[in-house]
């Protein structure tokens, strides 16, 4: 039994696929994200490891807002 390409888990993505997976254009990806990633380089081929994308997303995520919108008091003073 041979596996079809659709059934093989991906461990690396092209830069275009990586950009799409983050919901951004390739230009934005290359400018703002790619400089912070380790890439697989083979000749002209550039692949982005899925684990590296997940690491970047986790480290780039922001925390919860400290203040409530309606009265701008810290949530801890309720």
**What are the pLDDT digits (tens) for 5-23?**
788 999 999 999 999 999 9
Tell the burial category of 48 from Cβ atoms under 10 Å away from its Cβ (0-12, 13-18, 19+). Answer: buried
Residue 39 lies in a domain: yes
Residue 63 lies in a domain: yes
pLDDT of 53 higher than 80 = yes
pLDDT of 4 higher than 90 = no
Residue 64 lies in a domain: yes
The pTM assigned to this predicted structure is 0.71
pLDDT of 71 higher than 60 = no
What pLDDT score does 77 carry?
Answer: 56
- SS3 per residue for 14-67: EHHHHHHHHCCCHHHHHHHHHHHCCCEEECCEEEEEHHHHHHHHHHHCCCCCCE
Structurally, the chain folds into a number of domains equal to 1
pLDDT of 54 higher than 70 = yes
| Residue 15 CA to its chain's centroid (Å) | 11
CATH code, domain carrying 35: 1.10.10
Parent domain of 37: 8-71
Question: Rounded CA gap, 24 and 30, in Å?
Answer: 10
């Amino acid at each position: 039994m041979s596996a079809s390409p659709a059934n093989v888990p991906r461990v690396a993505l092209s830069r275009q696929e990586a950009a799409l997976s983050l919901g951004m254009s390739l230009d934005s990806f290359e400018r703002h994200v790619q400089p912070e990633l380790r890439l697989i380089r083979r000749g002209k081929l550039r692949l982005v490891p899925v684990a590296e994308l997940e690491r970047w997303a986790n480290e780039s995520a922001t925390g919860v807002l400290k203040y409530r919108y309606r009265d701008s008091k810290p949530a801890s003073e309720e």
